[in-house]
């Protein structure tokens, strides 16, 4: 750190009305301590070019020289500093103010500091000098050639660099000023570096070439850029919505890194063989399920029902089956009860449905079969039996809601809503009753008293009563459930009070986090 400054600085600060002669005389005085930042601020307010030149050329402190250079407008002084100053930052500051092409060329080729050379090149306009630097500079990293390329307009030089420069950022930089669409297309197709190809893609306008690149480029990074360029949409999700071209959609559906993009593309595909390939081979169940939902080939669907690892995909395949023999086989023999239930829903033979409704070992299969029975007496008989004998409370709720005798159904649902040990099942029963008062009371009871904090949290998510939510926010033993309640509080004063006064650190922290989130949302 510099501790001494010329006395003229102190003099000037003390006497802002001093003449230039007085200031120059003061400069001859002895050096005294002055804070560097004060000196720099003083220089920023100086307008006298002779004083600025004196500081820029003679001061021992590089920061002060640089501050003076930034105020100078004398080309010869700036040129001298740009070539002679011992500090690279000072030279760079001087170069930024130079226009002399010969001096800039000399600095670009000869300065020992890459940043100074780079700045000189950026200020060059002479095409012959730029071409020489772009083609011949010895900078091993290519940064100087890249900077020269950015200002080049000579198409023959640009094409040569775009095709043959060994440094890919130089090749990429040429694309900005390339004018020939065929050369840009050539680079987009053939360059060995994906970033260069992607840069070229952003300048393409020919849709057939963009589609070709989407179809054949091995790098998804390049394909994605081509899709965005093709549709004019900067977000890939928006681009997919605009697409109708099946070739492009196929590439997206098969190759996109993001499963949501693949799924969106699949939903717009029509080719059955491509959909079958995706339905069998994609590694994400949501994408496979989307493909299966559009399949009609019964043999492919049967293969998926038998072999897919995810139950939702298998069930979706069953939904698209039309072959009743296949459907019956899966209803009877599939290893997964959810798939069997889906298959039963597809059956039409009343005798078969009655057999499933009466005799199947799985309650959900029996319930689904009963829903499809034409015989109201048999249907009610099965529902009554399920209500009385089924251990699964959710099946009992579904069956009770289907009972013709509404009083019996209401009593069963009410009993489940108030007395079952599973809070979520109680909420489901209360919802099925369609009585808002009972529903609210059950929600409050589960939210405050259920033994499981996750079930309490689920109940909290459905609550709106601010008094109850405040009670849970302050008193629930689980910070998770309390945080769910706090997130639904509308009065920030309550949150602020919890954040400041609650006895538990984790509760105070949670309240603070929610307050911060609310502030960010409102802003």
Checking DSSP bridges between strand 4-5 and strand 32-33, what pairing results, if any?
antiparallel
Closest CA to 285 of 254, 245, 312, 305: 312
Q: Which of 35-44, 144-153, 189-198, 464-473 has the lowest mean pLDDT?
A: 35-44
138, with CB counted inside 10 A (0-12, 13-18, 19+), is exposed
Q: Which of 26-35, 375-384, 510-519 has the lowest mean pLDDT?
A: 26-35
C-alpha distances in Å from residue 358, one per residue of 351, 372, 385, 399, 504 = 11, 13, 9, 14, 56
- Determine contact, residues 356/365, Cβ cutoff 8 Å: yes
pLDDT average, residue stretch 145-155: 89
Q: Could you count the other beta carbons within 10 Å of the beta carbon of residue 69?
A: 28
The pLDDT of residue 407 is: 96
Residue 456 has pLDDT above 70, yes or no: yes
pLDDT digits (tens, 9 = 90+) for 472-514: 999 999 999 999 999 999 999 999 999 999 999 999 999 999 9
333, two tokens: 């023999």
Q: Could you count the other beta carbons within 10 Å of the beta carbon of residue 5?
A: 21
- Model confidence band, residue 24 (pLDDT cutoffs 50, 70, 90): very low
pLDDT average, residue stretch 402-414: 96
Mean pLDDT of the chain: 90
**Three-state SS for 52?**
helix
Helices (H) and strands (E) in the chain, counts: 38, 2
The pLDDT of residue 268 is: 96
The pLDDT of residue 136 is: 83
The pLDDT of residue 144 is: 84
Q: Which of 6-15, 47-56, 221-230, 409-418 has the lowest mean pLDDT?
A: 6-15
Helix (H) or strand (E) holding 209, with range, is helix 207-216
- Determine contact, residues 246/224, Cβ cutoff 8 Å: no
The pLDDT of residue 141 is: 56
The pLDDT of residue 184 is: 96
Residue 95 has pLDDT above 70, yes or no: yes
Q: Which residue has the higher pLDDT, 378 or 24?
A: 378
Residue 23 has pLDDT above 70, yes or no: no
Residue 109 has pLDDT above 80, yes or no: yes
pLDDT average, residue stretch 309-329: 96
C-alpha distances in Å from residue 349, one per residue of 3, 25, 199, 305, 372 = 99, 113, 62, 21, 10
pLDDT digits (tens, 9 = 90+) for 262-288: 999 999 999 999 999 999 999 999 999
Residue 138 has pLDDT above 80, yes or no: no
Residue 3 has pLDDT above 60, yes or no: no
The pLDDT of residue 140 is: 56
Closest CA to 54 of 64, 39, 40: 64
The pLDDT of residue 515 is: 93
Residue 519 has pLDDT above 80, yes or no: no
**Three-state SS for 411?**
helix
C-alpha distances in Å from residue 365, one per residue of 270, 369, 382, 522 = 33, 6, 11, 49
């Amino acid at each position: 750190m510099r501790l001494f400054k010329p006395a003229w600085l102190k003099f000037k600060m003390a006497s802002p009305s001093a003449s230039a002669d007085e200031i120059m005389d003061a400069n001859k005085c002895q050096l005294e301590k002055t804070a560097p930042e004060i000196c720099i601020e003083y220089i920023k307010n100086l307008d006298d070019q002779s004083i600025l030149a004196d500081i820029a050329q003679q001061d021992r402190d590089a920061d002060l020289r640089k501050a003076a250079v930034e105020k100078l407008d004398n080309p010869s002084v700036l040129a001298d500093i740009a070539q002679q100053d011992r500090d690279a930052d000072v030279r760079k500051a001087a170069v930024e103010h130079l226009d002399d092409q010969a001096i800039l060329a000399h600095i670009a080729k000869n300065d020992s500091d890459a940043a100074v050379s780079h700045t000189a090149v950026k200020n060059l306009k002479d095409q012959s000098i730029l071409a020489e630097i772009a083609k011949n500079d010895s900078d091993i990293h290519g940064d100087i050639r890249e900077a020269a390329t950015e200002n080049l307009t000579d198409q023959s030089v640009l094409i040569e660099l775009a095709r043959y420069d060994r440094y890919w950022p130089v090749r990429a930089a040429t694309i900005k000023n390339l004018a020939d669409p065929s050369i840009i297309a050539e680079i987009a197709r053939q360059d060995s570096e994906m970033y260069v190809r992607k840069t070229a893609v952003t300048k393409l306008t020919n849709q057939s070439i963009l589609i070709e690149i989407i179809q054949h480029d091995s790098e998804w990074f390049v394909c994605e850029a081509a899709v965005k360029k093709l549709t004019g949409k900067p977000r890939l999700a928006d681009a997919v919505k605009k697409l109708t071209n099946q070739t492009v959609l196929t590439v997206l559906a098969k190759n996109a890194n993001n499963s949501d993009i693949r799924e969106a593309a699949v939903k717009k595909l029509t080719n059955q063989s491509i959909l079958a390939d995706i339905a069998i081979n994609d590694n994400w169940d949501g994408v496979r399920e989307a493909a299966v939902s559009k399949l009609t080939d019964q043999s492919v669907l049967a293969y998926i029902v038998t072999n897919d690892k995810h139950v939702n995909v298998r069930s979706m395949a069953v939904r698209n089956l039309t072959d009743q023999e296949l459907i019956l086989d899966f209803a009877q023999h599939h290893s997964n009860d959810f798939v069997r239930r889906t298959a039963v829903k597809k059956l039409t033979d009343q005798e078969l449905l009655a057999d499933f409704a009466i005799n199947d070992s799985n309650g959900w299969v029996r319930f689904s079969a009963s829903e499809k029975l034409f015989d109201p007496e048999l249907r009610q008989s099965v529902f009554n039996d399920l209500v009385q004998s089924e251990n699964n409370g959710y099946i009992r709720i579904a069956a009770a809601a289907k009972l013709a005798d509404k009083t019996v159904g209401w009593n069963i649902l009410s009993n489940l809503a108030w007395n079952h040990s599973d809070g979520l099942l109680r909420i489901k029963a209360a919802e099925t009753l369609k009585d808002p008062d009972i529903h609210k009371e059950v929600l409050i009871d589960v939210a405050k008293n259920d033994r499981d904090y996750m079930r309490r949290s689920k109940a909290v998510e459905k609550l709106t009563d601010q008094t109850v939510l405040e009670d849970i926010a302050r008193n629930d033993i689980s910070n998770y459930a309390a945080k769910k309640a706090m997130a639904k509080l509308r009065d920030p004063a309550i949150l602020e009070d919890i954040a400041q006064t609650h006895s538990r650190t984790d509760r105070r922290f949670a309240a603070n986090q929610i307050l911060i989130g609310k502030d960010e949302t409102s802003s």
